[in-house]
A and B are shown apart, each in its own frame.
Chain A
Amino acid sequence: MNGNDQIMINPTRSGLLHRIAGVADRGTWLPVGVFVALVAIFSFASPAFFTWRNFAATTGEAATLLIASLGATFVILMGSIDLSVGAVVLLVGTTTVAGLKLFQGADLGPLTIPFGAFLGAALGAFNGAIIVFGRIPSFVVTLGSLSVFTGIALSILAGATIMFDSPFFDVLSLRQTIPHLPNIALWALLLWLISIFVGARTRFGRFVMLIGGGEQVARTAGIPVDRYKIYGFTVSGLTAGLAGIFAMSRLGAVGPSLGGDLLLNTLGAIVVGGTSLAGGAGGVQRTFIGVAIITVLSNGLNLVGVGPYWQLVIKGFVVIGAVLVSQDRIANLIVK
């Protein structure tokens, strides 16, 4: 079974039941099962877990991760990888907050969103251009830019945490238009839905999938592979930039540790959701459940009292395990 449930439903089947059966391969239901099991276990283990209060906290947490993972999913679908997502979040957050401090008089709140999106996209395009024109593996380039972006951000921050206060950001992220659901989660859902549409119904989404499924085939058919690779990294930077704005607005501060956990968490969410690291199989629709699993895992372990260091160990194993489980799908792709 392959991950492209959207495209690969057997057309000879019809009707809702068959349609559900068509998507019911392991790749789809395994993560859902894991999520349900985690929720059940943590509800049992900690009285604080299954509460509205914790729901609001985790959805806020999950929202940032989801936004940051959307573009990175496209990169992984292309068969590349973007390790610089967390660093882009930090750099965008830092420059934005520094800008806000600089022009303290004016109310620049709403402008931060296009600013963050643009800066993030520019950083992503920078990654993509080096990968394509330098013919360097994305792994190496984004590892380098991870260090570059982090270094610039930390030198701006000079080790300090910058706090700020703005009513706009409260409305943007923290207010609960729907009770118990912070607005940031609504934005994340909206961006997720847009990304699903982009993945399934646009030329960009199609080419990204083709590049991951068979780059050589795409080139041989005259598809502008290099251009779309740059687009892919640009989109990854763009969503990371937006995630930076939303993260800072939710926290009301930017410090050196912003985005630090996103390197593992974005990759974890994407592969746990069922997108193949080899590219060409999976999709942004799956990343949602991956984000839910990673967030519930962190949150639950916290509440149960597992220390942050052991959390790193567990999360690391979960990510490796997810890749192991998805391995046979990759093998399927390669065998014939």
Chain B
Amino acid sequence: MTPMASEANPGSELLAVSRLAKSYGPIRILHDVSLNVPTRSIVGLVGENGAGKTTLFNILTGLARPDGGAMLYRGRPYAPRSYGEAFSLGVSRVFQEQSLILNVPVYENMALSQERRFTRFGQFVDRGAMIRVAEAIVEEAGLDVDVRRNAGAYDFSRRQAIEIARACLAPKHLMGIEDPLVLLDEPTSALDQQDETAFLDLLARMKRHASFVFVSHRLTEVRAICDSIVVMKDGRISGLLTPVEADEKTLHGLMVGRERAEDYYHTDEQRDVSGEPVTYRVRELSSTEFSGISFEVRAGEVLGIGGLLDSGKAALGKAVAGVRPAKSGTVTLASGAPQRPSIRRLVREGLGYVPAERLVEGIVPGFSLAMNLSLPSADKYSPYGIWRTDLEKSAARDAVQQFGIRSGSPAIPMRNLSGGNQQKVVLARWLQRDLRMLVLDNPTRGVDAGAKEEIYQHIRKLTAQGVGVILITDELAELIGLANRILIMQRGAVVAEIPAPPAGKPTEHDLIPHMLPSTRAA
């Protein structure tokens, strides 16, 4: 039944990737990527966003096909065409977002996609057998979990442990595959210190049963747990180190390609806004995903909003910008009248919005740079109904210069630009207007390190001109580095307000406890 019941020896290569290449259109995502994963080891994979880690994982799990290079898994050529195929060979992935189904018992989650192994006479599911297997997995992983309870009964960190146990042990119990390969995609980004320790303990225990590639932005934990560390930068492997060699400074150098600027987030340019007038006032804003949100943003201030993925911060961002309607509540821009937020009116009054999903909400990939740039500025380019393509073109040329948009020209289709350059166009779109307020939702997602720093610079420049900024982001370092003040959301409400002056920036561990539900399952 199982194609690969072979047992690999500890220390031998479980996976060998050589000279992998991948491009999307003209943009090369991976160049010549080679790496090895020995059996029963943890390989750390670090790099800035956009370095190519996700694409590498996509290739390893059959979600993308490489353009060149080869992979050997258990000594055989490996080229999965789907996640199902990769999974059937013992390769699985634990995502940032959890994939357990909450309203279903843990044991059914354990058997997910393998239900047919428990099917009797074609129709009937043998629940008893399912439960026995699930209990065996939980016990072997040393977890105190009742597999008959719904997955939703356990808190975030416990669910994550269940997921890891599943990934490491289900292949053995269900498919007879020993030593599976588990890809961990930033599993710790939403854990507090205590849970992080528990997680690393679990990983150390699970190493007897599986091999891991571990992506994390937390360099300390990578150094603590990994057997070797691979650094990626701009689609290439820029370093291969042992944990001893990998001090933070060296890692940063390899990740960013230069010594990280002392002040990546330009905190010295952060303004003291206590004397500034209020630019944006949000009063009792409510929708289905959040309720009763009130806050103020002063001229030149960066207000950061953080929280887990389901905290409601993304929905709040959309509502505050008037992109998604709010049920009740008002916003007031500058000296205007309070209004139910509507992006059309707010844009006229001087608000800009950079959405998180660039390819769906931010740009039209098939249209030219110039068209994407002029998008919200019909008032400027067609004051009398006729579209001034001459003005549009010269403005696009200026923006290419001013923002350093590489390989940019007014007529180039947006899809031919890299993520960072696309994002610069989205930002430039608003900066050519008279802005009072800018709402940013994950402005550096999928953006390379260089472009990222430039975007930070532009944000600082805007605040110097007195523009108020709301910054919603999943990246805690960015949130802390840029914001004057941080609101933490949980279940649709603001649960904490944390000041972040240049002299006294909070740490990630100061923020995370506020982001997690306080009532935890024991």
Q: What are the nearest 9 A-B pairs in CB distance? A: A222-B347, A203-B382, A221-B376, A213-B364, A214-B364, A11-B411, A222-B343, A220-B361, A221-B375
Query: What residues on A are CB-neighbors of B360 within 8 Å?
Result: 214, 216-217
Query: What residues on A are CB-neighbors of B348 within 8 Å?
Result: 222
Q: Are A223 and B378 in contact (CB under 8 A)?
A: yes
Query: What residues on B are CB-neighbors of A10 within 8 Å?
Result: 411-412
Q: Are B367 and A213 in contact (CB under 8 A)?
A: yes
Query: How many Å lie between the Cα of A11 and that of B368 in the bound state?
Result: 11
What's the nearest-Cβ distance from chain A to residue B439, in Å? 11
B386 within 8 A of A: yes
Q: Are A213 and B366 in contact (CB under 8 A)?
A: yes
What's the nearest-Cβ distance from chain A to residue B233, in Å? 23
Given contacts A7-B411, A213-B366, could you give 5 more A-B pairs where the C-beta distance is less than 8 Å?
Answer: A2-B413, A4-B366, A210-B364, A217-B364, A336-B415
Query: What residues on B are CB-neighbors of A9 within 8 Å?
Result: 411
Question: For residue B363, which residue of chain A has the nearest CB?
Answer: A217
B504 within 8 A of A: no
Query: What residues on A are CB-neighbors of B413 within 8 Å?
Result: 2, 8
Q: Are A336 and B365 in contact (CB under 8 A)?
A: yes
A177 within 8 A of B: no
Q: Are B387 and A201 in contact (CB under 8 A)?
A: yes
Query: How many Å lie between the Cα of A247 and that of B365 in the bound state?
Result: 41
Q: Which of B355, B376, B410, B415 contacts A11 (CB 8 A)?
A: B410
A202 within 8 A of B: yes
Please count how many residues in chain A sit with their CB below 8 Å of the partner chain's CB atoms: 33
Mask, A51-79, CB within 8 Å of B = 1, is 00000000000000000000000000000
A187 within 8 A of B: no
A115 within 8 A of B: no
CB-CB contacts below 8 Å: B337-393 with A: 343-344, 346-348, 353, 355, 359-368, 371, 375-376, 378, 382, 385-387, 389
Q: Are B359 and A336 in contact (CB under 8 A)?
A: yes
Query: What residues on A are CB-neighbors of B128 within 8 Å?
Result: none
Query: What residues on B are CB-neighbors of A4 within 8 Å?
Result: 366-368
Q: Are A223 and B375 in contact (CB under 8 A)?
A: yes
Q: Are B387 and A205 in contact (CB under 8 A)?
A: yes
A149 within 8 A of B: no
Q: Are A7 and B387 in contact (CB under 8 A)?
A: no
B409 within 8 A of A: yes
Known: A8-B411, A11-B410, A336-B359. A218 touches B375 (CB 8 A): yes
Q: Which of B323, B365, B375, B389 contacts A210 (CB 8 A)?
A: B375
A to B CB contacts below 8 Å, 16 in the list: A11-B410, A203-B387, A206-B382, A207-B378, A210-B364, A213-B366, A214-B363, A214-B364, A217-B363, A217-B375, A221-B353, A222-B346, A222-B347, A222-B348, A280-B366, A336-B415
A164 within 8 A of B: no
B264 within 8 A of A: no
Q: Which of A205, A224, A280 contacts B364 (CB 8 A)?
A: A280
Query: What residues on A are CB-neighbors of B24 within 8 Å?
Result: 336
Query: What residues on B are CB-neighbors of A213 within 8 Å?
Result: 364, 366-367
A281 within 8 A of B: yes
Q: Which of B323, B363, B386 contacts A219 (CB 8 A)?
A: B323
Question: For residue B378, which residue of chain A has the nearest CB?
Answer: A203
Query: How many Å lie between the Cα of A218 and that of B362 in the bound state?
Result: 9
B336 within 8 A of A: no
B25 within 8 A of A: yes
Q: Are A333 and B365 in contact (CB under 8 A)?
A: yes
Query: How many Å lie between the Cα of A207 and that of B344 in the bound state?
Result: 14
The A interface, classified by DSSP as helix, strand, loop or mixed, is helix
Q: Are A11 and B409 in contact (CB under 8 A)?
A: yes
Please count how many residues in chain B sit with their CB below 8 Å of the partner chain's CB atoms: 36
Q: Which of B25, B361, B367 contacts A216 (CB 8 A)?
A: B361
Known: A7-B371, A223-B375. A12 touches B409 (CB 8 A): yes
Q: Are A332 and B387 in contact (CB under 8 A)?
A: no
Q: Which of B347, B371, B385 contacts A203 (CB 8 A)?
A: B385
Query: What residues on A are CB-neighbors of B25 within 8 Å?
Result: 336
Query: How many Å lie between the Cα of A9 and that of B412 in the bound state?
Result: 8
CB-CB contacts below 8 Å: B396-444 with A: 409-413, 415, 429
Query: How many Å lie between the Cα of A11 and that of B365 in the bound state?
Result: 18
Question: For residue A207, which residue of chain B has the nearest CB?
Answer: B378
Query: What residues on A are CB-neighbors of B409 within 8 Å?
Result: 11-12
Query: How many Å lie between the Cα of A35 and that of B462 in the bound state?
Result: 56
Known: A7-B371, A203-B378, A203-B382. A219 touches B343 (CB 8 A): yes
Query: What residues on B are CB-neighbors of A220 within 8 Å?
Result: 323, 343, 353, 355, 361-362
Question: For residue B392, which residue of chain A has the nearest CB?
Answer: A206
Known: A9-B411, A12-B409, A207-B378. A281 touches B366 (CB 8 A): yes
What's the nearest-Cβ distance from chain A to residue B199, in Å? 35
Name the residue in B24, B323, B367, B375 with the highest tally of chain A Cβ atoms < 10 Å from its Cβ. B367
Query: What residues on B are CB-neighbors of A223 within 8 Å?
Result: 344, 375-376, 378
Known: A4-B366, A333-B366, A336-B365. A202 touches B382 (CB 8 A): yes
A126 within 8 A of B: no
Query: How many Å lie between the Cα of A182 and that of B389 in the bound state?
Result: 36
Query: How many Å lie between the Cα of A46 and that of B41 in the bound state?
Result: 79
Mask, B52-71, CB within 8 Å of A = 1, is 00000000000000000000
Q: Are B389 and A201 in contact (CB under 8 A)?
A: yes
Query: What residues on B are CB-neighbors of A118 within 8 Å?
Result: none
Query: What residues on B are CB-neighbors of A222 within 8 Å?
Result: 343-344, 346-348, 376
Query: What residues on A are CB-neighbors of B344 within 8 Å?
Result: 222-224
Query: What residues on A are CB-neighbors of B363 within 8 Å?
Result: 214, 217
Query: What residues on B are CB-neighbors of A11 within 8 Å?
Result: 409-412
Query: How many Å lie between the Cα of A220 and that of B441 in the bound state?
Result: 12
Query: How many Å lie between the Cα of A333 and that of B359 in the bound state?
Result: 11
CB-CB contacts below 8 Å: B258-286 with A: none
Query: What residues on A are CB-neighbors of B376 within 8 Å?
Result: 221-223
Mask, A315-336, CB within 8 Å of B = 1, is 0000000000000000011001
Query: How many Å lie between the Cα of A222 and that of B387 in the bound state?
Result: 17
Q: Are B361 and A217 in contact (CB under 8 A)?
A: yes
Query: How many Å lie between the Cα of A280 and that of B414 in the bound state?
Result: 14
Query: How many Å lie between the Cα of A10 and that of B407 in the bound state?
Result: 12
CB-CB contacts below 8 Å: B216-239 with A: none
Query: What residues on B are CB-neighbors of A201 within 8 Å?
Result: 386-387, 389
Query: What residues on A are CB-neighbors of B385 within 8 Å?
Result: 202-204
What's the nearest-Cβ distance from chain B to residue A1, in Å? 10
Question: For residue A227, which residue of chain B has the nearest CB?
Answer: B344
Query: How many Å lie between the Cα of A7 and that of B389 in the bound state?
Result: 10
Query: How many Å lie between the Cα of A267 and that of B274 in the bound state?
Result: 62
Query: What residues on A are CB-neighbors of B429 within 8 Å?
Result: 221
Query: How many Å lie between the Cα of A224 and that of B343 in the bound state?
Result: 10
Query: How many Å lie between the Cα of A10 and that of B411 in the bound state?
Result: 6
What's the nearest-Cβ distance from chain B to residue A207, in Å? 7
Q: Are B366 and A2 in contact (CB under 8 A)?
A: yes
Question: For residue B342, which residue of chain A has the nearest CB?
Answer: A222
Mask, A178-207, CB within 8 Å of B = 1, is 000000000000000000000001111111
Q: Are B366 and A217 in contact (CB under 8 A)?
A: no
Query: What residues on B are CB-neighbors of A203 within 8 Å?
Result: 378, 382, 385-387
